[in-house]
A and B are shown apart, each in its own frame.
Chain A
Amino acid sequence: MERATIDLWVGIFVTMGIAAFLALAMKVGNLTSANLGATYSIQAAYENIGGLKVRAPVKSAGVVVGRVASIRFDDKTYEALVTLDIDTRYQFPKDTIAGIYTAGLLGEQYVGLEAGGDPKMFASGDKIGKTQDAVVLEKLISQFLYSKASDSDSKDKAKAE
């Protein structure tokens, strides 16, 4: 075969391959939605973060407004210190509550921001005052069982009297 024809076919092949890779990145993967652009970081302390992971989404009213940048343990207060990267397009009042919620019953955990009414907004490096820990299912079940047991105990006592 002639060299020019081969060159043409190889050119088509390589272009198709690179286009396929880009299409995978854009259409199949989340490359387009992962980029947040410019962010500022705020911190939140929790007694228990449950199964929160780095890069988990930060949502407000169900819309992704940022990502969890880092999670570390503070050995002075014995709390988990979570750094949140928030998109600079979104500003939140100083009395915003940052809770850890679960998407669905078994889904991944995310940080949910509920905006308050304070006129002052968070600046980079601020710390969120109001946080709500993750719900640990085992604790909830044990509390439920404990209260059931004490309920039936008091009923038994009432009957005996």
Chain B
Amino acid sequence: MFKYVINLLRGIGHRVIDRVWRLGFATRFFLTALSCSGDSFRRFHLVIKEIYFTGVLSLIIILVSALFVGMVLGLQGYNTLQKYGSSEAVGVLVALSLVRELGPVVTALLFAGRAGTAITAEIGLMKATEQLSAMEMMAVNPVARVVAPRFWAGVISMPLLAALFSLTGVFGGYLVAVPLLGIDDGAFWSQMQANVDFHEDIVNGVIKSLVFGVACTVIALFEGYDAPPTAEGVSRATTRTVVNSSLAVLGLDFVLTSFMIHGGS
């Protein structure tokens, strides 16, 4: 009995120490990537290549899902608002929910699934096939050559993708509301413009997407860099990237929103 309790406590302690150690390691990894990023600006074509991979190739999934999210929001919003006789407000509903919440959050979740997993798998395999060690042998810093460009590519791509997501979503909502459901075109846009504030809604949405971009990219890079150099290790790391990025995005979203709403009023 006594031994069982001791073992249980030991298990808890081991897990806590492991988590804290990983967190500290991730922070140091992040700081190292930041301090090594001077190189990636001097050789900016490395960053551009990664922007092509994380940003341009994510465009299709981001735009298509944004169109559908906006169209669904338009339909649902119209259905509910109609009961209160204010179906023109559907533009406000679509724009506010996209710019404030869905744009940054859904983009970040898709980004983690589309680009984050690829980053983790790529770096994990580089480690498994000892390419990173080979770079070190050639006196090339793998953090500066491999990690930092991917980090900056993610940080640059994410707000752009989120802005495109929000705009396409608003367009999707417009498609459903105006030509399909017959809401007045002028009322749709004017109500939207009267109720969406540039600083409180749009700029805050951009800040959110920037923070999510940093979080998703750092998690993806760290999981790849930290993965055990086996096939199983890389696959587990990829799974952890998706799980941790999604949780981090949703948790950070709550924290950021509570700050923004408090500061906004």
A-chain residues with CB within 8 Å of residue B202 when the two chains form the complex: 21, 24-25, 28-29
Pairwise interchain contact B56-A9, C-beta atoms closer than 8 A? yes
B154: min CB distance to chain A, Å: 13
Q: Which residues of chain B from 155 to 211 have a CB within 8 Å of any chain A CB?
A: 156-157, 159-161, 163-164, 166-167, 170, 189, 192-194, 196-198, 201-202, 206
- B45 CB within 8 Å of chain A: yes
Pairwise interchain contact B55-A18, C-beta atoms closer than 8 A? no
Q: Which residues of chain A from 63 to 85 have a CB within 8 Å of any chain B CB?
A: none
Q: Please judge, given known A-B contacts A10-B51, A28-B99, whether A17 and B163 are in contact too, CB under 8 Å.
A: yes
Measured in the bound complex, the distance between the Cα atoms of B54 and A17 in whole Å is: 14
Pairwise interchain contact B196-A14, C-beta atoms closer than 8 A? no
Q: Which of B56, B167, B197 makes the CB contact (< 8 A) with A10? A: B56
- A31 CB within 8 Å of chain B: yes
Interface residue tally for chain A (C-beta within 8 Å) = 25
Measured in the bound complex, the distance between the Cα atoms of B170 and A34 in whole Å is: 21
B202: min CB distance to chain A, Å: 5
B-chain residues with CB within 8 Å of residue A18 when the two chains form the complex: 160, 163
Measured in the bound complex, the distance between the Cα atoms of B56 and A23 in whole Å is: 20
B57's closest neighbor in chain A, by CB?
A: A9
- B48 CB within 8 Å of chain A: yes
- B95 CB within 8 Å of chain A: yes
Measured in the bound complex, the distance between the Cα atoms of B163 and A65 in whole Å is: 32
Pairwise interchain contact A29-B193, C-beta atoms closer than 8 A? yes
Q: Which of B95, B166, B194 makes the CB contact (< 8 A) with A20? A: B166
Q: Please judge, given known A-B contacts A10-B48, A20-B163, whether A28 and B192 are in contact too, CB under 8 Å.
A: yes
- B8 CB within 8 Å of chain A: no
A23: min CB distance to chain B, Å: 6
- A30 CB within 8 Å of chain B: yes
- A33 CB within 8 Å of chain B: yes
Q: Which residues of B are in contact with A by a Cβ distance under 8 Å? A: 45, 48-49, 51-52, 55-56, 59, 95, 99, 156-157, 159-161, 163-164, 166-167, 170, 189, 192-194, 196-198, 201-202, 206
Pairwise interchain contact B206-A6, C-beta atoms closer than 8 A? no
- A16 CB within 8 Å of chain B: yes
A82: min CB distance to chain B, Å: 18
- A7 CB within 8 Å of chain B: yes
Pairwise interchain contact B163-A21, C-beta atoms closer than 8 A? yes
B-chain residues with CB within 8 Å of residue A130 when the two chains form the complex: none
Q: Which residues of A are in contact with B by a Cβ distance under 8 Å? A: 1, 3, 6-7, 9-10, 12-14, 16-18, 20-21, 23-25, 27-34
B92: min CB distance to chain A, Å: 10
B60: min CB distance to chain A, Å: 12
Q: Which of B48, B157, B194 makes the CB contact (< 8 A) with A30? A: B194
Q: Please judge, given known A-B contacts A13-B55, A30-B193, whether A6 and B49 are in contact too, CB under 8 Å.
A: yes
Pairwise interchain contact A33-B163, C-beta atoms closer than 8 A? no
Pairwise interchain contact B48-A6, C-beta atoms closer than 8 A? yes
Measured in the bound complex, the distance between the Cα atoms of B161 and A17 in whole Å is: 6
B-chain residues with CB within 8 Å of residue A33 when the two chains form the complex: 193-194
Pairwise interchain contact B167-A20, C-beta atoms closer than 8 A? yes
B62: min CB distance to chain A, Å: 11
Measured in the bound complex, the distance between the Cα atoms of B55 and A12 in whole Å is: 11
Pairwise interchain contact A30-B196, C-beta atoms closer than 8 A? yes
Measured in the bound complex, the distance between the Cα atoms of B199 and A30 in whole Å is: 9
B-chain residues with CB within 8 Å of residue A21 when the two chains form the complex: 159-160, 163, 202, 206
Measured in the bound complex, the distance between the Cα atoms of B196 and A16 in whole Å is: 22
Measured in the bound complex, the distance between the Cα atoms of B193 and A30 in whole Å is: 5
Pairwise interchain contact A17-B164, C-beta atoms closer than 8 A? yes
Pairwise interchain contact A23-B167, C-beta atoms closer than 8 A? yes
A23's closest neighbor in chain B, by CB?
A: B167
